[in-house]
Structure formats: structure tokens, C-alpha cells
């Protein structure tokens, strides 16, 4: 009996433990569910209101198809570290529905995964639906098949377009709803955008344009998703849409919301200029960006989005016409996802400074003073409290100005704004950069650059192709976005009597609407021509020898992407339009409408898929002997570059074409289109690590031009291990010294002083001090030189503070750098320039 009682007691005890642990687990699970609470998103004339709280929103554009899923976590994490609380992205219709009714949401198209990663990082999302997005993306994001829908006109009050748009919009939004990604469901999406910069084309469609905008507004509003909706560059946006600003200086150019109950939001603050092939380098300074943001927030702005925060890569054939494969590389996070300093750090400090002003900005009353011609004071005070924040602006671009505010004098640098989160203490100036600088290095890989033995396969020129067209077929319609290439052939007869006399030259003339062209006559290559992003049309004309009898003309029309902007995009045309033979005794022979044209789409290598391992086996490759004609495929193998750093291929020695690694499209390259500086616009092409295997990576290149030198191609490892500082002794100390407690701005540290801060990435440490000067050095990070004034012990001081450390701070003042209290150049405001090299020692 006792044994049975004991067993019964043990069984009861076990059941009690199991039940209690089960209920505990259920309670924890319920608690987790409760954490994802529904958030109401509303707004008023001051800001968005999320879950009952006003918010200042710092957002950055990051486009999921322009990087890889393996890169997303680090990019999003770095964006948050940069002070962002929101990520903005377009949705790409031609990525998600490349063929009508066939959908893609995997790999780089995995929108849900991307948004959930943002949510995991505790950030909000703005979703820009399009359907048209521009974005320097081919066809502005619209799928090609849409062009072939009978009776369609894009982006207007057109029944077929509206039907397809509604189906697409509902499909995307339903997917977001199913995944509970809207804030009203506890998700991260707090804001949506329908259409994109429509005012640029609205006048072309007259009343139909206005009707379309009203329809688009009603479409998303009727879905009751619990988030506000915006329209950018659309000052007449119908209620309840919020009209918002795009541009560089919305603090000055934006007329404001079209209703008093709508907040001032900035959806695109362009961090640089996108680049097209043939462009010289372009940049937008971080000082200008910071000035524009501070000005916007000082004038009742509560949301800014940096377009782009990370530009990424236009992989494959996804860029719009003439746009480079590298996209917005000068953004705070560069193409490889690395922090571009000082743009990253200076904006991060700006966000910190604005956060110190949060309470007065969101709850205070605005006031403005104009103490001088070029100076302005904007400040916010909350009645009945000590809460106050001020923005002191100097619009003089050449000289500093002194502003008197509340009994104190403030010296404001040329064209800058100083931020005072308590109306007393300057914590940030838009022109004074105290964050570090970096220079990007492309280091030649030892592992990947072992001798590459290229093999080649050359395309065969088509003979006379079948065709019944009496004019050259339009190139967009011919290729249907399946390839960049379309063939045109025709034949023409010339009587012996029509041949020119000795000394008179005949020539072929082709007038093309774009984008590029290669021409052959009777099997002889005549050359190529191309347009540009600004002037797509061009004329190709070359002298030729015409023979009596039948002559065969072959042209290869080449695309560099579809257009991404403008009205009536469905009727945009390109390719060769007028073809004639000049110099015959009988006069000009017009072949445009007097000959039958045959056509063929794409390359034979594309049809066979030779860019893949399997497809490459379908053709006979020859060993490259140092010379090859145009339209040649090049194939080799290489090992992955050492380290885990980003990798790229430098297309030295090449002309124009496409790159694949292990079957993945790296993008278009165009080395022969030189900028006014005599250099290619882009030399390095990003190969994401996820494209690579440890060994034997398959590289395939399709090259359009003859006599290129693939042996000059090399693989590089990318880093930003050159770290610098460039700080004036009169600069405002870093905003990191300050915090806000209730209505008071207080110092976090005992000693608020100006320091130059240098930090290596990851586990690297400062291995060398390459330059140091306290005086008047000149140059930029990676290229500093001494000026006429220099403290002799500058390098010694920096080495003492920094060598062997992952992070160091150097006091920026005369006492640190003066030897025997001697100032070698009095009456000069000193600058400290430092350049160090980060690296991994043997131990780390």
C-alpha cells in the first residue's frame, strides 16, 4: 500500500510541475503576444502621432532589391546606429510581377523578410507603393508586359491601367496585412505612399490626370489599413492624403501642407546625385545636408527621409537608361554598406541634437527673429515651462556672423545653423564636423588574382534575317525587356553606274533614338555609336566601300535600360530610325522605308544561358590568344578574395557589356564611355559575398567591343581602414556630451571639451599614424598635406593617444600640442588633421 501511495504522490507531483510550467510557458507566450500591441497612427499640424505619442522621425531609403538578404541585417543595424528610427522603401512592381500573373517574393524580392528585419530592429517602415516609382530603376518599376495591354495609357484615368494597378496594389497591401505588418496590427508600417511625383506629368493628362490622382487616393484610403497616406511633390493632394516634399532644401522650397491639420513631412532629401555613364564624380556635402535638415525642423518639420541612406547596386539589367550599376554610392552607407564618414557620423550627431529639442519642437510655440540681413533666430517655447529650443542661422556663405540671443553672443560659422536645445547651450553646428572621416580603399586580392586563363566564345553575325517590316522595328518593343540587344538586317542593290567616282567616299548614316549601336557592312565591322542620358539620340556615320550588286547591312541596337520618367512612357521609342547610304552618283539611298528589315532578339549566348555553369557547356570555348572581336563571351574561374570584407571586380581594359558571377548578374559595365575628366564613371563592380563560393567561382563577361584586354581585370577587397579627423580648435564639442532631463539640458561628462575621436571598425586597431598636423594643414582624408603652420610634436601626440587602440580621443587645444608653451603661428585658428590606418594584428 505504501509503495502505491508513494507512486501516486510522485505522479501527482510531476503533474503539478508540468501544469505549472505549461501555464508559465503559456503566460510568457501571451506576454510576447501582448508586446506586439496595435498602434494607432494619426497626425495633426505638428507631427505624426504613433500610439498616442508625437514623434520626430529620421528615416532613410534602403531598397531591398539593391542589396542581398545577407546584407540586410548589417545595413539596417547600421542605419539604426546612425540615429534613424524609420526605413523607407519602394515596392518594385516589375520585380514582383515580371510576367503577368507570375509573382516573385523570394531572394532579393523578399519584401516581407526585409520589413520583418526592420521590425526586429525596433524601427518603423514607410512603404511607397508606386505603382510608378522612378527611382532610376528600369521602366520606373512598371513591368514591361503592361505596355502590351490593349488600349493602355500609364498613370492616367485609363481603365486598363487602373484595373492592373488596383490588382497590384491590393496584392501588396493584402500581403502586408496577412503578415500583420501595419502599425494598426502591431507591425512597423506607419506610413504609406501612393503614386510618385505625379505633378511632374499631371498637366500632360489634363482632367484625366486629376481624376487619376483622386482615384488613387480613394483606392488606398478605402482599404482602411489604419495608417496615413502621403503623395510627394503633389501640393494639391486630395484629402486625406498628406502632401509632402522632395528635394534638397525643403525648408525653403516646400510651400507647406495644404491643410492646417497636416504635418510637414520630407520624403526625399537627396544625399547625393545619382550617376549616369559619362558623368564625372558628384557629391553633396554633409554640411549642406545637415543645414537643410536643421532648417526644415526649425520651420515645423517633424520627419525627414534621406534618399538614399544606402543606395546599393543595380544588379543585372535593373538600372534605368544610362544609369550606372553603382547607385547613390555617396550616401551615408556606401554601395557596400560601409559607413561613409563624415556623412554618417555628422548626421547621427544631428539626430542626437534634434532629439534634445524634441519636447519644445513637438509641444512648443514657434517664434522668429531677424537680427540681421543674413541671420535668423527660430525658437520654440512651451508655455508654463522652461522647455525651449533655438536654431540660430547664418545664411552668409562667406563669413561668420555674431548673433545676440537672450543676452549672449553666439558666433555662427558661414552658412550654418547652431542648435541650442535649452536656448542657451550650443550642442551642434551644421558646418562644424567633429565626427571622424574615412577614405575607402580597394586592395588587390592575392587569392582571387592568381593567373586567370580566359576562354572565349564569339557570337556569329546573323545572315539575312526574315522580316516583313519596311522600317526598323522599335527596340523596346523588339526586346521586351528580355535582353539589351536587338538585331536588324537588310540588303540593298547598287548598280555599277551608281558607284562613286575615284576620290569620292560613300558612307553609311544611321540616325538613332538611342541608346547605342554597332554596325557591319558586308561582314566588315564599321564601329559603334551611342547617346547619353541627357541626349539619347545620336547619328552614326562612317565611310564605307560599296560594291556593285547586293550589299548586306547588319545593325545591333543596344539598350542601357528602359526610361524611368515622363508622361506617356508606354509610347516612348528608341533604336535606329533612319538609315541611308550617302555618296552614290544617283544620290542618297534611303534604306529606312525602301528595304525589308529582318530582326532577331538577343544573343545566342543569352539563349543558351552561357553565363551559367550548365549553359556554358553548350558552346565550344577557345583559349583566349590576346585578341578577340566584339560580341565575345569571356569565361574564367577564380577563388573568393580573402577576408570577409566586401569584394569587387575592377573592369580595367574592358569596353562595354555585362558581368555574371556563378550565374548571378553583377550588372552592366561601360568603361569606354569616359567622363569629361577622361575616366570611366565606374571602375569597380560589387560582387556580394553571397554570390561567391570559397573556390572555383565562375566569371562570365559579355563584351560588345573588340580588342579589349581582360588580363587587366582584377579583384579587390573593399575597406574603410583609413580613418581621419579634421577639426578646428574653435568647433563646438560633440553633442554626445549632453542629455536632456525634464526641461534641462545637462552634461553627461564632467569635462565637456573638444576632442578628435577615431574608431576602427570591428576588431581592428590603429596600426599606424600616417599623418598628423595641428596648424593649418590642407587636403582631405587620404590626401592631407602640411600647411605653413604646424606643431612639430603633432604626430608624437597622436601616436601617444592612439597607437594600438581600437578607439582613441585626442584633446583639440593648444596646450596639447604646444612645445614649451610656444605657439609657432599666433593669430591662426588651428585645425587638427589626423590620418591613421586600422588593421588586425597577429593576436586579433
Which residue numbers are catalytic? Answer: 197, 268
Cα gap 299→256, rounded to integer Å: 10
Q: How many residues does the chain have?
A: 844
With beta carbons less than 8 A apart as the criterion, state whether 442 and 684 touch: yes
Per the CB < 8 A criterion, the answer to whether 306 and 473 are in contact is no
Q: How far is the C-alpha of 297 from the C-alpha of 264, rounded, in Å?
A: 9
Region at 656 (left for phi over 0; alpha for psi -120 to 50; beta for the rest):
beta
Cα–Cα–Cα angle for 746, 752, 758, nearest 5°? 120
d(CA 525, CA 629): 9
CA gap 415, 399 in Å, rounded = 8
Q: At what angle do helices 72-81 and 111-120 cross, to 10 degrees?
A: 40
Helices and strands in the chain, H and E counts:
15, 45
CA distance 816 to 810: 9
Helix (H) or strand (E) holding 24: helix 2-35
Cα separation, 421 vs 748, in Å, equals: 15
Torsion, Cα 163 164 169 174, to 10 degrees, reads: 90
State the Cα–Cα distance between residues 308 and 525, nearest whole angstrom: 42
Q: How many angstroms separate the CA atoms of 596 and 617, rounded?
A: 36
User: Which segments of 262-356 does DSSP mark as H helices, in order?
Assistant: 286-298, 343-356
Q: What is the 3-state secondary structure (H, E, C) of 107-169?
A: HHHCHHHHHHHHHHCCCEEEEECCCCCCCCEHHHHCCHHHHHCCCCCCCCCCHHHHHHHHHHH
For residue 574, give the nearest of 566, 585, 583, 582 by alpha carbon. 566
C-alpha cell at 188: 512597423
Q: Dig out the grid coordinates for 360 from the structure.
A: 519644445
Backbone angles phi, psi at 733, to 5 degrees: -60, 160
Contact 328, 276 (CB under 8 A): no
Q: Taking a C-beta distance cutoff of 8 angstroms, is the pair 349, 332 a contact?
A: no
Task: Find the helix or strand (DSSP H, E) in which 175 lies.
Answer: helix 159-178
Cβ–Cβ < 8 Å for 305, 332: no
| Strand 524-530 with 516-521, pairing | antiparallel
Contact present, 295 and 287 (Cβ < 8 Å): no
Rg (CA), the chain: 31
Q: Rounded to 5 degrees, what are φ and ψ at 649? A: -115, 130
Amino acid at each position: 500500500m505504501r509503495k502505491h501511495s508513494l507512486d501516486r504522490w510522485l505522479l501527482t507531483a510531476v503533474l503539478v510541475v508540468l501544469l505549472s510550467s505549461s501555464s508559465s510557458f503559456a503566460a510568457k507566450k501571451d506576454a510576447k503576444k501582448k508586446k506586439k500591441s496595435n498602434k494607432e497612427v494619426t497626425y495633426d499640424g505638428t507631427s505624426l502621432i504613433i500610439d498616442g505619442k508625437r514623434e520626430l522621425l529620421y528615416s532613410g531609403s534602403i531598397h531591398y532589391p539593391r542589396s542581398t538578404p545577407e546584407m540586410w541585417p548589417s545595413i539596417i543595424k547600421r542605419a539604426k546606429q546612425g540615429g534613424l528610427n524609420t526605413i523607407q522603401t519602394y515596392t518594385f512592381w516589375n520585380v514582383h510581377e515580371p510576367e503577368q500573373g507570375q509573382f516573385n517574393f523570394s531572394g532579393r524580392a523578399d519584401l516581407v523578410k526585409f520589413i520583418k528585419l526592420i521590425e526586429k530592429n525596433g524601427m518603423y517602415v514607410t512603404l511607397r507603393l508606386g505603382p510608378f516609382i522612378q527611382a532610376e530603376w528600369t521602366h520606373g518599376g512598371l513591368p514591361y508586359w503592361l505596355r502590351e495591354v490593349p488600349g493602355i495609357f500609364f498613370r492616367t484615368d485609363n481603365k486598363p491601367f487602373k484595373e492592373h494597378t488596383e490588382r497590384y496594389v491590393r496584392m501588396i497591401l493584402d500581403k502586408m496585412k496577412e503578415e500583420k505588418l501595419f502599425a494598426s496590427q502591431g507591425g512597423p508600417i506607419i506610413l504609406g505612399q501612393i503614386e510618385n511625383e505625379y505633378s511632374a506629368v499631371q498637366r500632360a493628362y489634363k482632367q484625366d490626370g486629376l481624376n487619376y490622382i483622386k482615384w488613387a487616393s480613394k483606392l488606398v484610403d478605402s482599404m482602411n489599413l489604419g495608417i496615413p497616406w502621403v503623395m510627394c511633390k503633389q501640393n494639391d493632394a486630395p484629402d486625406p492624403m498628406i502632401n509632402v516634399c522632395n528635394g534638397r532644401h525643403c525648408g525653403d522650397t516646400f510651400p507647406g501642407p495644404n491643410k492646417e491639420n497636416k504635418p510637414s513631412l520630407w520624403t526625399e532629401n537627396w544625399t547625393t546625385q545619382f550617376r549616369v555613364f559619362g558623368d564625372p564624380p558628384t557629391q553633396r556635402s554633409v554640411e549642406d545636408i545637415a543645414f537643410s535638415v536643421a532648417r526644415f525642423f526649425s520651420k515645423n518639420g517633424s520627419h525627414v527621409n534621406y534618399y538614399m541612406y544606402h543606395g546599393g547596386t543595380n544588379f543585372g539589367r535593373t538600372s534605368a537608361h544610362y544609369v550606372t550599376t553603382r547607385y547613390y554610392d555617396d550616401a551615408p552607407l556606401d554601395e557596400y554598406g560601409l559607413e561613409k564618414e563624415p556623412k554618417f557620423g555628422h548626421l547621427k550627431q544631428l539626430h542626437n541634437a534634434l532629439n534634445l529639442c524634441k519636447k519644445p519642437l513637438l509641444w512648443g510655440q514657434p517664434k522668429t527673429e531677424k537680427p540681421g540681413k543674413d541671420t535668423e533666430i527660430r525658437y520654440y517655447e512651451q508655455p508654463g515651462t522652461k522647455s525651449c529650443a533655438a536654431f540660430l542661422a547664418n545664411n552668409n556663405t562667406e563669413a561668420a556672423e555674431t548673433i545676440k540671443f537672450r543676452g549672449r553672443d553666439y558666433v555662427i560659422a558661414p552658412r550654418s545653423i547652431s542648435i541650442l536645445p535649452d536656448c542657451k547651450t550650443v550642442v551642434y553646428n551644421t558646418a562644424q564636423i567633429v565626427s571622424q572621416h574615412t577614405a575607402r580603399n580597394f586592395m588587390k586580392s592575392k587569392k582571387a588574382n592568381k593567373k586567370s586563363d580566359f576562354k572565349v566564345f564569339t557570337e556569329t553575325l546573323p545572315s539575312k534575317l526574315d522580316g516583313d517590316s519596311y522600317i526598323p522595328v522599335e527596340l523596346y518593343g523588339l526586346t521586351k525587356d528580355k535582353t539589351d540587344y536587338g538585331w536588324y538586317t537588310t540588303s540593298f542593290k547598287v548598280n555599277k553606274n551608281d558607284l562613286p567616282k575615284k576620290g569620292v567616299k560613300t558612307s553609311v548614316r544611321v540616325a538613332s533614338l538611342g541608346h547605342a549601336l554597332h554596325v557591319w557592312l558586308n561582314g566588315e565591322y564599321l564601329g559603334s555609336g551611342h547617346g547619353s542620358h541627357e541626349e539619347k539620340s545620336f547619328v552614326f556615320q562612317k565611310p564605307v566601300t560599296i560594291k556593285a550588286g547586293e550589299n548586306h547591312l547588319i545593325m545591333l541596337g543596344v539598350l542601357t535600360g528602359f526610361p524611368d520618367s515622363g508622361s506617356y512612357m508606354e509610347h516612348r521609342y528608341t533604336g535606329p530610325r533612319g538609315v541611308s547610304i550617302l555618296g552614290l552618283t544617283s544620290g542618297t539611298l534611303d534604306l529606312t522605308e525602301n528595304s525589308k528589315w529582318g530582326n532577331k532578339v538577343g544573343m545566342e549566348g543569352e539563349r543558351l544561358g552561357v553565363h551559367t555553369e550548365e549553359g556554358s557547356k553548350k558552346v565550344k570555348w577557345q583559349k583566349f590568344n590576346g585578341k578577340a572581336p566584339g560580341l565575345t563571351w569571356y569565361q574564367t574561374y577564380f577563388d573568393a578574395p580573402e577576408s570577409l570584407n566586401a569584394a569587387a571586380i575592377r573592369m580595367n581594359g574592358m569596353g562595354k557589356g555585362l558581368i555574371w558571377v556563378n550565374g548571378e548578374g553583377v550588372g552592366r559595365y561601360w568603361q569606354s564611355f569616359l567622363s569629361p575628366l577622361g575616366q570611366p564613371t565606374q571602375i569597380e563592380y560589387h560582387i556580394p559575398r553571397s554570390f561567391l563560393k570559397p573556390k572555383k567561382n565562375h566569371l562570365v563577361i559579355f563584351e560588345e567591343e573588340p580588342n579589349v584586354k581582360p588580363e587587366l581585370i582584377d579583384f579587390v577587397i573593399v575597406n574603410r581602414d583609413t580613418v581621419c579627423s579634421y577639426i578646428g580648435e574653435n568647433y563646438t564639442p560633440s553633442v554626445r556630451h549632453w542629455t536632456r532631463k525634464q526641461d534641462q539640458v545637462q552634461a553627461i561628462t564632467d569635462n565637456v571639451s573638444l576632442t578628435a575621436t577615431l574608431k576602427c571598425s570591428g576588431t581592428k586597431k590603429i596600426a599606424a599614424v600616417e599623418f598628423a598636423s595641428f596648424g593649418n594643414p590642407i587636403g582631405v582624408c587620404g590626401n592631407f598635406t602640411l600647411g605653413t603652420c604646424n606643431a612639430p610634436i603633432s604626430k608624437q601626440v597622436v601616436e601617444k593617444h592612439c597607437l594600438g587602440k581600437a578607439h582613441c580621443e585626442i584633446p583639440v587645444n593648444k596646450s596639447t600640442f604646444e612645445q614649451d608653451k610656444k605657439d609657432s603661428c599666433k593669430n591662426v585658428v588651428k585645425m587638427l588633421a589626423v590620418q591613421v590606418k586600422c588593421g588586425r594584428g597577429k593576436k586579433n
